[in-house]
Structure formats: C-alpha cells, structure tokens
Structure 1
Amino acid sequence: MSEPHTLYDTIGHIAIITLNRPKARNAFSPEMITLWREYLEKARSDNNVRVIVVTGKGDTFCSGGDIRDMAEGKLKSWDMKRFLWDGVHRIVLTLEDLDKPVIAAINGAAMGAGMDMAIMCDLRVCSDKAKLAESYIMMGLVPGDGGAYFLPRLVGTSKALELLLTGDVMTAEEALNLGIVNRVVPHDQLMKETMKLAEKIANKPPLAVSMMKRAVYQGVTSTLRAHLDYISSQLSLLSETKDHHEAAMSFLEKRKPQFSGE
C-alpha cells in the first residue's frame, strides 16, 4: 500500500507537514493538495501547535505542477480552474489566514508553484543545495497560485518581473541575497536548524506571536493611521494576558518564563 502524498507529524509545539511524492519530485497531485489543506486546518485547530513547518521528502521541496500531466493535456481549461479554486487556492488562503507562523524548510528544488508555496510561508530556511525558480514562463504559463502577488512584496516589482519573465534558476545564496529566503544552512543541517528556529518561536508567548504576525501583514496593506489604531488595540489586549504578566514576573525574578497562551 502506497504512502499518502502528504504526511503530518507533531514534535512538541511544532507541526511538520511533509510533501511525500519524492519519485515525482513532490509535484502536485489532487491527493497532495487535499491533504496539505486538511493538515493546515488540523494544525490551526490544535491548541498545542504553535508553529508549522512545511518541507519535502527526498531531494526536492516541490516541483509544482506535474509536467507529465501538462504534456498529456490531462487538465482542460475548466478543470484547471476548478483545481486551482478548490485545491491550490484554498492552501494559499489558509496560509494567509493562519495566525500561527509557517516555516518552509526548502530541502531541494522549489520550482514554479513549488517556489510560490515556499514564499507564501512566513519564513524560509533553505538548504545550500536548493535551487529556486519562477519557471512558469518556460511552460508558457503564469503563476495561477498567487506567485505574482507575493513575489513583488518580497523583492519589489522590477526584480519580480525579471524572475517571472526569465524563469532564471537561483541558487540558495542568490535567493538569500534577494530576501526570498531568511537563512541558508548546510544541507544536512536543514531540519535541525529549522526546528531550532521553530522551537525558538514556539517558546514565545503564543498570543503575542499570533498578533505580531497579523500586525505585520495588516501593516503591509494598511494606512499608517489605521495600523496605529489596530496595533494599539492589540497591545491593550495583550497587556491583560497571563503571559504578559508571566513575562514581566519572570524577568524580575530572573527565571525562565512559562507561557500558557492565555
């Protein structure tokens, strides 16, 4: 019996979602997309989970759409639209709505929609052996998953256009220099370093982490006046939480804080 196309596990306060089609370079399949979305929702509803890590099995993070299916013309235009609407777009919108930080552990090639799924995560830790590309143009396509929305927000309009129009493949270091990934680490240290970062965030006050993430994304699309109104409300709410009191008391008592998410 074959394994599911997407796997789910938890370690402490961290959920790990693994794309599991290594023989197909972790290319999309309907099963992978369905499970991916379900596992994001599972992590969202689990109060014990504070951080989510997404990675790929084998030597590829995700190669996006299955080129064999493209060559065979398996998906007609309306089928493609429904696949995006009912599958891929739901992952994108769930990632956008999640109040828990999502970290992509890019273990290998991230091409086309694979790169887009990585940049939709909040943080990206990248293997020094990984390659990234907005390869849609090579297939005569555009990023139907929202890549052209997210990429300019990371690198600016001009650089985003260059990457999208050329389909050039980037090394991990090039992606780091452009601000596409947060960290580049030795390949054999990828999960160790990713989990270290995830644990560091998971050990922070959960409500403050959630509101911090929301505040940053709200600030990107908001006016300064609206953002100041929003952030002052969040600060006021957090000032009455048990975790805020615990943080202050542990500082005064010179001990490690124990945060409960309350």
Structure 2
Amino acid sequence: MDRRMTYDHIRYEKRGAVAVITYDKQERRNAWSPPLYRETERAIETANADDAIGAIVLTHEGPIFCAGTDFKAGPEVDPDTGKKLNIAQICMMQDTGWIHLLARSKPMIGAVHGAAIGLGVTQLLPMDIRIGGASSTWSFPFLSLGYMPELGCTALLPRLVGYGRALDICLTSQKLTAQEAKDIGLITRVVPDEQLLDEAIKVGETLAAAPRLQMRLTRELFQKNALEPDTNAYLRRETDAFIEMLRAIKKARDADTAKG
C-alpha cells in the first residue's frame, strides 16, 4: 500500500522505490507560489531522507503542469529578518534555491502531460530526465509578457538544446509541441498522455535499482564536467570518483567477509 502524506497544494505518495510528487492547485493553474514551492521542497527532502526511495517523479493534475509564477500570491516573510520574499527570490537563492536542491537530491524525473509555461518549464531544466505526454506543450513567453528568462534558464537551456536554439526560443517567445521539444533535446521521451505516469515511474524504478553511490557520483560528474574546458580537471574528478567508488566496494566486501 502506498504511504501518503497530507499537503495543501501537492500530493506525495510512494510507488515502490519511487516518490511521486503531484502539483494539485488547479484553481491557480499549479502556478508557483511560496506555499506551493515550500511544500514541493519539503516533499523532495522527505524523499531524500527515505532510504526506501531511489528516485523522484514530479507531475501534475489538470491540463496545466505549471503556469509559471502565481502573481496573486503574497510574499513569504523571512522569520529571521522580516524581509518579504517573492517566489523568484526564494527559488533563485544562491546555495539553497531550486537548482541547488535538485543537484543534491535523488534523481528527478519531470512528467508533463499538459502545458508547462515560463517558470513551469525552467523549473524542469535542472532535472535528470524530462518526459512529455503527447499533448504537452512547452512555452517560453517571457519577453512577450515583458519579463525575462529566469531560474537558470539562460545557462541550462543552451546546455540541452544548443546556444542558437535556446536564444531563438526565448527571444521569440516560442511555444513547442511535445514532438518539437523532443526533436531539439528539451525532453527525451514522448508517450501517450495516459501512459505518462506509468512510464515515468518505470524510469524511476530503473534509476532506483542502480547502486546509490555510483548513481550519485555519476550525476555529480555530469553536473560538474559537462561544460568543463579543462581536460585535467574533468579527468581528475572522474579519477577521484572512481577511487571513492572502489573504496566503498572494498569496504562492503570486507564487511561481508567479516560476517562470513
């Protein structure tokens, strides 16, 4: 039986070794507000602290994955400073914001069967895998609305689709179909909408079945080395990671020998 936790803006459940976080604030089109963001953050931390969980899926109820920023939502008041923080300030905090959270979390999969708009797309860019339902759309309307790309979009989107495409998409405020998003590398899979969650959980189970240390080290190497121009630097990181892995394997073997 799935263990469930109670939230006001999202749902959290366990499907085997996969935690599924579902946006469910449809009256606000699942737009990010400080409360929704904090609940999502807490759910991710809950999954990270659960040894039975090996991967996390983020998905949604309703026709819209996330409509971006909830501009009608009030700010969050910092209890220490009394400063009022809007959702952009919260999710883009250095060291503790969304990108940092995902970087140190268990593998994350974004599963979208509806519209991902603005911040609804950029929040998915740091994830390990993005899967789109056949009817999903991916919109970058920042400039057409008088805003600008945010949440690391100007760094992360070019890494996924290339500099030229990223600039074209953002400067012209493009809206992409699922197939168009897959063709350029924004997402890696397109499946029928009704199969989306099952496919995401299946992928999550595959990730969860991998050795945890090797999975963590591999993800860290990609995060640090993907754009590293220094050959010696990325080789050194790989060497250090292999040493850490081999030491862990030896420790486990020695422990098994001692038990025997």
Query: TM-score, length-normalised on structure 1?
Result: 0.83
The match for 1:183 is 189
Q: CA 1:95–1:205 in structure 2 vs 1: closer, same or farther (change >3 Å)?
A: same
1:218 to 220, 224, 229: 224
CA deviation digits over 1:97-137, x for unaligned, max 9?
32x21100112100000011122211011100000011111
Contact 1:113 1:145 in 2 (8 A): yes
1:137 to 139, 143, 164: 143
1:143 positional shift: 2.2
Q: Which amino acid aligns with 1:43?
A: A
The match for 1:253 is none
2:46 to 29, 42, 46: 42
The match for 2:87 is 83
The match for 1:31 is 35
1:104 to 99, 103, 110: 110
Unaligned stretches of 5+ in structure 1?
A: 247-262
The match for 1:251 is none
Contact 1:34 1:87 in 2 (8 A): no
Q: Which amino acid aligns with 2:147?
A: L
Unaligned stretches of 5+ in structure 2?
A: 1-5, 76-82, 254-260
1:62 to 58, 61, 66: 66
Return 206-215 or 139-148, whichever deviates more: 139-148
Q: 1:107 and 1:26 mapped to 2: Cα distance?
A: 13
Q: 1:144 and 1:81 mapped to 2: Cα distance?
A: 16
Which aligned segments of 4 or more residues in structure 1 are displaced greater than 6 angstroms? 243-246
Q: 2:137 and 2:161 mapped to 1: Cα distance?
A: 17
- Of Structure 1 and Structure 2, the greater helix share is in 1
Return 109-118 or 141-150, whichever deviates more: 141-150
Q: 1:221 and 1:10 mapped to 2: Cα distance?
A: 35
CA deviation digits over 1:177-228, x for unaligned, max 9?
0000010000110011111111111111111111111111111243221111
**SS of equivalent to 1:144:** coil
**SS of equivalent to 1:228:** helix
Q: CA 1:196–1:107 in structure 2 vs 1: closer, same or farther (change >3 Å)?
A: same
**SS of equivalent to 1:211:** helix
1:242 positional shift: 4.4
Contact 1:103 1:125 in 2 (8 A): yes
Q: 1:94 and 1:3 mapped to 2: Cα distance?
A: 19
CA deviation digits over 1:132-180, x for unaligned, max 9?
0111112100123222221111112211111111111100000000000
Q: Which amino acid aligns with 2:245?
A: L
Aligned residues: 237
2:57 counterpart of 1:53: yes
Contact 1:33 1:88 in 2 (8 A): no
1:80 positional shift: 8.4
